[in-house]
Every structure is written in C-alpha cells, then in structure tokens.
Structure 1
Amino acid sequence: MTDLTKLSLAAARKGLVDKSFTSSELTGAYLGAIDKANPSLNAYVAVTGEQALEMAKASDEKLAKGQGGTLEGIPLGIKDLFATKGVHTQAASHILDGFKPEYESTVTANLWRDGAVMLGKLNMDEFAMGSSNETSYYGNVINPFRAEGSNANLVPGGSSGGSAAAVAAWLCAGATATDTGGSIRQPAAFTGTVGIKPTYGRCSRWGTVAFASSLDQAGPIARSVEDAALMMTSMSGFDAKDSTSVDMAVPDFAAAVERGVKGLTIGVPREYRLEGMPAEIEKLWQQGLDWLKAEGATVKDISLPHTKYALPAYYIVAPAEASSNLARYDGVKYGLRVTGKDITDMYELTRAAGFGREVKRRIMIGTYVLSAGYFDAYYVKAQQVRTLIKKDFEDAFHAGVDAILTPATPSAAFGIGDEAMANDPVKMYLNDIFTVTVNMAGLPGIAVPAGKDGQGLPLGLQLIGKPFDEETLFATARVIERSADMDFSPKPWW
C-alpha cells in the first residue's frame, strides 16, 4: 500500500469511498507520522489520538453502509485558535493555561458534521499575533523545508505556522487556519502549500478566539487547490450566532477548480512593485502573468493608490481591537491566575505572567491609540484610510478586473531567530505587506505555490478576488498550480 499520508485530501476521499483503505488505517498512519515528526517540527501542541481513532471508527461504519459526509473519515489538524469541546484550546498562550471549552466552534462543528476526524491542535503565534510562529508559548514551529545544503531551521510563517508545517510535512490531510493580516497566505507561501482567506463573513467566527474582530477570518491550508476548495465548502456557511456571518448559499467550490481563466481580466497593481524587491519574486510574478495569459486571460495594469497606507493603518486597527478583545483575560473566570494582594494586583500579575512580549506590545499600542486625545488622531484616521483602501479595490473591479495577481510574500522563509527581524518589529511586520490590504477590504485572497528561490525554498503568488467570488480564485489558482507543475514536497530530515 502507498504511504497513505502522502495522498492528497481528494485522493484519500476517493480511496475511502472505494474502500481501498479505511479511515482507521488512514488516521493511524497520520498518528504514526505525528509521533515521528512532531518532536522535531513542534507543529502540534496537543494530539488527540484516542478521539481521532474513535471518530475514524464511526466514519468507517458509515462508509461501510455507503453513507457519510463530504469529508467522511478525513483526518485534519485544527489550529489552537478554534474552540474544540473538552480539548486543549489555548491560542498558544500561557494565559489560557489548562482551558478546555465546553462548546465547539462553528467551523470545527461544520467539519465534524461532514465526517472529518480531528488529529489534534496545531501550534501558532500567541493569539495569532506574529508572522513567524516564534511568539507561541509552546515554542517555535520548524518549517519542514530547509535551504539546499543547509541544516539551519527556518520559520514556517505565522500565525498559522503549525497548520502550514503540518500540512507540508504530511502530518494531516488539511488544516484549519485563520487570517487577520496574512496569517493563512504567508505561511502557505513559506511551506509550498495552498491557503485561502475567504471573504469576511463567509466562515463563522463563533467559537474562534478573537484577535481583531473586524479582520479575522477562518480558512483552510491544504496541499492542493482542489483540497482547499473541498475543505472550504465544509467550513463555510451562515451562522446566526455570529453577527458578521453573511447569509449566502455556499457554492460547491471544488466544482469551480477546473473552470479555467479564458476571458478573465487579471489586474496587476503597480503599487506592489516595491523598491528593492528581490529579482526572483519579480520574475515569479511575471511568470504567473505569462501562465494566465497563455490560458486565455487578459492582463491589465491597475492602481491601488492607498496601498502604501495599508500597513500603518492595519497596525493601528488590529492592536486596537486586540486591546479590547484581550481585556477578558484577567485571571478571574478561567485560565492562568497569579494570586495578588488584591484584585487589581491579581489582574496585573496574571496579565504580566500570562501574555508574551509581542502580545503585550500590541495591547499597549492598541490601548494607546484608543485612549482619550489619540482616538481621533489614530484609530478614526486609520478607519478612514481603510475605507479608501476598500474603494481602490472596488474601482478596479468596476473597471472590469476579475482578480488581482501579486506576490504572496517579499521573500522565501527566513531563519528562526533572524536578528534583523528580532531587533526590529517593523521589519517583521513588513512580511504582511502584500496581504494586509485584503483583510482591510474584507476580500478573499489565496496563496498558491508557484516556484522556488535559488536555495530551493518555496515561493507563492497571491490572487485577490471580488467579495464572495472565491470560485474565480480557485479556478485561477488552479491554472497557476498546473502551469508551475512542480513538486512542493520537503525532503524529510526529521
């Protein structure tokens, strides 16, 4: 039998339906792979082996009767931001020490409804704040890729670094992730995987630990465009418990994957041509445009004039919302409690011990921009800029553009403990330069692996779509995936 963990999600699904193997066998293969690899990669913070095998057994019984949902028996990894009933849910933070919710997030409930199997909870940047997965209380996730001829560990990107690393290293068939400013697309680009941030409101945020409520959106990371489409169909849908959830029918995203790009107009924003951009990123971008043109698309230069303000505006809006959302972690109701001489002292000691450095930095920035005297100058101004960024995209789409192609990241994965990044938070924040505009405008964006740098590390391209037009993104990303025709598997060293 072939190594079951190397099958795509779509191929595993077909194998289960054809009874070539059972979900118990598939799940067992993944649990074995996790046992072997996780000590080196640190992708999982909790492995739910017994629960996974029970879920797999239930799936096998359904499949034996010719029944089952669209993901019946498929083993998935779940980012530690999603509440999973009775299972470790800590947003990779010390302040949620020991927390096991009594409820299930809507996204994971949708996956279990469709028959998926939970392998465990995946590591991430603490409270989803980070671009390298170095802020987790549980330590760094290690990228399964290494530069050719090097043994140096690389970051998998963040905040969904555990999700991306687990998918790339064959430790799950697919994984849930979240994206507030690029946290699905950047790690996908760093690990040769496919990651889509759906339109804001497409997936419910209920039961997902909040970072910045007007920006957060759940989505899948998978090994192929088709796999991501299959997962997203299950994850999406209206939820009355989430006031920002949009009441729209969920398309069969997988049905759109092979639709092609003939007749589409692809926008190329001139503002994304950054000074000092590596030549290999520029070359890959042009290659992507050539592939789309060869398949019948038209390429059009466009302007998104307010792009240069996106990153500063994002780093006002996101910390402001984080400062408000994270006020609930005070040591009173759940999680870590550090005893103090009175309740104020307990709050201060608990938050000082419970939050990591990056989370504290963002809470302080957020509290500052929301404070009296600065609210109008910073927060209100950033929201006005956000409206202008959204209008830039609307103007481009009204002018006949169907999707926009950009690089996903300004470089390939960098080293863990990179001094330039560690000593300058702004340099780390610049990793999100191509991705934050999408969250600010609430649009869908997909990262698809398209090439490798001079050291053999994966590079991704990003496609940005119209609101609720993820189908066009899947179709266009598939053309890039097919045209690239490369093996984006890491060489196992673990």
Structure 2
Amino acid sequence: MSELTKLPLKGALDGLKAKTFSSSELTEAFIGAIEHSNGALNAYVETTFDKARAQAKASDELLAKGEGRALEGAPLGIKDLYCTEGVRTTACSKILGNFVPTYESTVTANLWQGGAVMLGKLNMDEFAMGSSNETSHWGPVVNPWKAKDSNQALTPGGSSGGSAAAVAADLCLAATASDTGGSIRQPAAFTGTVGIKPTYGRASRFGMVAFASSLDQAGPITKTVEDAAIMLNVMCSHDVKDSTSLDIEVPDFTQFIGKSVKGLRIGIPDEYRLDGIPAEIDALWEQGIAWLKDAGAEIVRITLPHTKYALPCYYIVAPAEASSNLARYDGMRFGYRDPEATSLTDTYELSRSEGFGKEVKRRIMIGTYVLSAGFYDAYYVKALKVRRKIADDFTEAFKSCDVILTPATPSSAFALGDEKKAADPVSMYLNDVFTVTTNLAGLPGLSVPAGLDQHGLPLGLQVIGKALDEGTVLTIASVLEQAAGFTQKPSKWW
C-alpha cells in the first residue's frame, strides 16, 4: 500500500470515491511513511495519528454512503503556524512552549469541514522568519532532494520548509503553508512542488500565528497545479473574524486548469534580470517564455521600476509589524516563562531573550528601531510610500499584460549550514528577491517546477497575477506544468 502515498491529491480523491481503497488504508500508508522517514527529514514536529485514524474512519463511513465532501478522506499536513484545537501549536518557537490552542484556525476548520484528515503539524522557521527552515526551535528540515554530485544535506527553503519537504517526500497528499515574503513559493521551487500564495484577503488569517499582518497569507503546497486549485477551493473563504478577509465569492478554481492561453498577454519585467544570477535560471525563464509563446500567448515586455527597492522596503515593513505582533509573548499569559525570574521586569526580559531565537530577536530589534520616535518617519513611513509605488507599478504593468512570468528563486536549494548565509543575514534575505513584491502589492503568485539545474536540483518559474485573478495564474501554470513535463522525484535516501 506504500504506492498510495505517491498519488497526487486528485488521484487519491478519485480513488477514494471509486472505493479503490479506503481513507483508513490511505492514512495508514502515510502514517507508516512518516514513522519510517521523519527521523531523517524532520518535516513533522507533532504527529496526530490517533486523530487521523478517527477522521479516516468517519470519512470512510460517509464515502460508503456516497456523501463524500470536497477533501473527503485526504490525509494532509498542517504547518505549525495554524492553531489546531487540542493539538500543540508552537510556530516552532521555544517561547510558545507547549501551547495547546482551545480553538481552530479558520483555514484548518475549512479543511476538516471539507473532510480532510490531519496527519500532524509541520516544521517551519520560527514565527515564519527565515528562508531555509534553520531557525526552527525543533531543528532544521532536510530537503529530500540531493545534488547528484554531493551527499550534502540541503535546505527545503523556508519558512514553509516542513510543508514542502513533506509533500516532496510523499509524507502527505498536500500541506498548508503561509507566505509573507515568499515562504510558499521559494520552498516549492526548492523541492519540485507547486506552491500558490493567493490574493491577500482570499484566505482568512484567523488562527494563524501572526508575523507581519499586512503581508501574511495562507496557501497550499501540492504535487500538481490541479491539486493546488482543489486545496484553494476549500482553504479560501470570507471570515468575519478576520477584518482583512475579502467578502467575495470563491470560484471553483479547478475550472481554470487546462484552459487555452491563446491571446493572453504574458508580461516579462526587465528589472528581474539581475546581475550574478546563474545562467541556468535565465535559461529556464527563456524556456518558460517559449513554452507560453508556443501555446498561443503573446509576450509583452513590461517595466516594474521600483523593484530594486522591494527587499529593503519589505525588511522594514515586515520587522516593524513583527515587533508589534510579538510583543504579546511576554512570559506572563502562556508559553515559556524563565524559572529564575524574580520580578516582573526579569520575567519579561529573561523569558523573551531565552524564548526567541536569534533571527526573531534580530527582526524584533530592527522593527522596534524603525518604529521608534526618532526614526519612524525616516524609515517606516518612507517604506510605506515605497510599498505604494511598488503596488502602482503592478497596476500600470497589468494595463498591458494579463499575468507576469519570472523566475521563482535566484538559485536552487543551497546547503544547510551555509557559512556565508549564516554570517551575512542579507545574503539569506536575497532569496526573496523575486517573491516579496507580490506580498507588498497583495497579489497572487505561484511557483511551478519547470526543470533541473546542472546538479539535478529542481528550479521553479513564478506566475504573478492581478488581484483576485488566481484563475488565470492557475491556467498559465497548468500550461507550463504540461510543457515542462516535470515528473522527477528525489532519489530515496531517507
């Protein structure tokens, strides 16, 4: 039955409806795979096998009556950023300790109402701050992919590294993830999976542990573009508990898969041709352009003039919001409290200094600095103005194109413990160079695997769409997926 874990989400749902196998059989196959492999990959930080078995049994009863819902009986992994009632949720930070929520996030509630089965909580960078999944309190996730000429452990990307690794290694059918500056799309590109960040407000943020509230957005990591559409159908909804949630109908995203791209205009931004980018990234981009041209799309050169300011803008806005959001973790109400503290001030200072990791403390300090009285106007207010300019660039560009095609990342997966990136945080931040603009502008973006580099590691192409036009993004991505014919999987060593 281990072959069941290799199925895409759509294939598994079809098999369940056809009664080729049961949800219980499918769930046991994944439980066995996790028990065998998680020690090597560290993708799951908490497993919920008893809960999964109970949910699978309930799904089988509904399927037997022909009453299956959209995700009936499908075993999924949940990023440890989503509050799950009765199941430990830590955002992979020591400061949350063994926090067990008494409520469910809206996204996960939607999944359970859709019939999904919960296998457990997935590893991530602490509070979603990182691009390599090395800031997790529970240790780094290991990418199931390895370079063909090396045995070195590679990063699966971040912050949704556990989600990407679990999907790539067939430890769940699909996974929830979140994207603040590229945390869905970069891990997807690094692991040969599909990751989509929908329009800001499409999916509720209620019950998601906050990093930067104006940038955070929920989305899935899946094996195929069609699977991403299936997950979006269920994850997205209007939610009165989230004031930024959009009160707009969620279309059936699966209807956009396989549609013709004839006549669609594909924007190619000059500003994304960066110095020092590997030639194979540029070559893949050109190949993607050729595939879409062959499919009948029109290629249009566009300009996004403020792109060069996107990273510095992001690394002012995001830490500022993080500084505000993370002020609630003070050692008083829940989570980690330093046992040696003898006063209120000690409790605050010691609990926070010991509870937060180095990268989180770095971003809190940056955020506190740019929000301080003497620097608020010079940094934060200026960054907000630049953010508006970046959004305006997209508005102008979309007057002449329907979607934008770019590389997803500036490289393939790099080694865990990369000394250069550890010594220089800015070099790590540069991983987000192609992705942060969509978060700043609130637009949908998707990474689709499109080829391998010279070391046999996956590379992705990114499709950026107009606000609320995930449908066209999925249409373009499905054409790229078909043209690329990317069916490679990592050689199993774990």
TM-score (norm 1): 0.99
Q: Which residue is equivalent to 2:393? A: 392
Q: Which residue is equivalent to 1:342? A: 343
State how far apart, in whole Å, the 1-side matches of 2:257 and 2:216 are. 25
Unpaired runs of at least 5, structure 2: none
> Alpha-carbon deviations, 1:396-426, whole Å to 9, x = none?
1123x10000000000000000111111000
State how far apart, in whole Å, the 2-side matches of 1:489 and 1:93 are. 31
Q: Within 5 Å, which residues of 2 pair with 1:91-240? A: 91-240=91-240
Q: Within 5 Å, which residues of 2 pair with 1:333-482? A: 333-339=333-339, 340-399=341-400, 401-482=401-482
TM-aligned CA deviation for residue 88 of structure 1: 1.0
TM-aligned CA deviation for residue 170 of structure 1: 0.1
Unpaired runs of at least 5, structure 1: none
State how far apart, in whole Å, the 2-side matches of 1:299 and 1:488 are. 28
State how far apart, in whole Å, the 2-side matches of 1:34 and 1:424 are. 34
Alignment-mate amino acid for residue 110 of structure 2 = N
State how far apart, in whole Å, the 2-side matches of 1:251 and 1:426 are. 39
TM-aligned CA deviation for residue 488 of structure 1: 2.9
Counterpart of 2:98 in 1: which secondary structure? coil
Counterpart of 1:3 in 2: which secondary structure? helix
Q: Which residue is equivalent to 2:43? A: 43
Q: Does 1:277 align with 2:255?
A: no
- On the 8 A contact 2:98/2:335 being kept in 1, the answer is yes
TM-aligned CA deviation for residue 149 of structure 1: 3.0
TM-aligned CA deviation for residue 341 of structure 1: 1.8
Q: Within 5 Å, which residues of 2 pair with 1:318-333? A: 318-333=318-333
- On the 8 A contact 1:193/1:488 being kept in 2, the answer is no
State how far apart, in whole Å, the 1-side matches of 2:228 and 2:493 are. 26
State how far apart, in whole Å, the 1-side matches of 2:149 and 2:408 are. 25
> Alpha-carbon deviations, 1:282-335, whole Å to 9, x = none?
000000000000000000100000000000000000000000000000011111
Alignment-mate amino acid for residue 424 of structure 1 = D
Counterpart of 1:124 in 2: which secondary structure? coil
Alignment-mate amino acid for residue 466 of structure 1 = K
Which moves more between the two structures, 256-265 or 243-252? 256-265
TM-aligned CA deviation for residue 486 of structure 1: 2.3
TM-aligned CA deviation for residue 2 of structure 1: 6.9
State how far apart, in whole Å, the 2-side matches of 1:182 and 1:159 are. 8
Moved over 3 A (4+): none
TM-aligned CA deviation for residue 276 of structure 1: 1.2
Counterpart of 1:177 in 2: which secondary structure? strand
Counterpart of 2:398 in 1: which secondary structure? helix
Q: Which residue is equivalent to 1:490? A: 490
- On the 8 A contact 2:2/2:33 being kept in 1, the answer is no
State how far apart, in whole Å, the 2-side matches of 1:165 and 1:470 are. 24
State how far apart, in whole Å, the 2-side matches of 1:149 and 1:183 are. 27
TM-aligned CA deviation for residue 260 of structure 1: 2.5
State how far apart, in whole Å, the 1-side matches of 2:153 and 2:406 are. 27
State how far apart, in whole Å, the 1-side matches of 2:221 and 2:139 are. 21
State how far apart, in whole Å, the 2-side matches of 1:398 and 1:112 are. 40
> Alpha-carbon deviations, 1:131-185, whole Å to 9, x = none?
0000000000000000003211000000000000000000000000000000000
% identical aligned pairs = 67
State how far apart, in whole Å, the 2-side matches of 1:257 and 1:200 are. 22
State how far apart, in whole Å, the 1-side matches of 2:150 and 2:382 are. 46
State the number of aligned residues.
493
TM-aligned CA deviation for residue 232 of structure 1: 0.7
State how far apart, in whole Å, the 2-side matches of 1:112 and 1:318 are. 31
State how far apart, in whole Å, the 2-side matches of 1:149 and 1:50 are. 41
Counterpart of 1:398 in 2: which secondary structure? coil
Alignment-mate amino acid for residue 359 of structure 1 = V
- On the 8 A contact 2:17/2:68 being kept in 1, the answer is no
Q: Which residue is equivalent to 1:85? A: 85
State how far apart, in whole Å, the 1-side matches of 2:100 and 2:254 are. 34
Counterpart of 2:203 in 1: which secondary structure? coil
State how far apart, in whole Å, the 2-side matches of 1:7 and 1:479 are. 21
State how far apart, in whole Å, the 1-side matches of 2:337 and 2:109 are. 30
- On the 8 A contact 1:212/1:321 being kept in 2, the answer is yes
- On the 8 A contact 2:180/2:439 being kept in 1, the answer is yes
Alignment RMSD: 0.7
- On the 8 A contact 1:449/1:488 being kept in 2, the answer is no
Alignment-mate amino acid for residue 151 of structure 1 = N
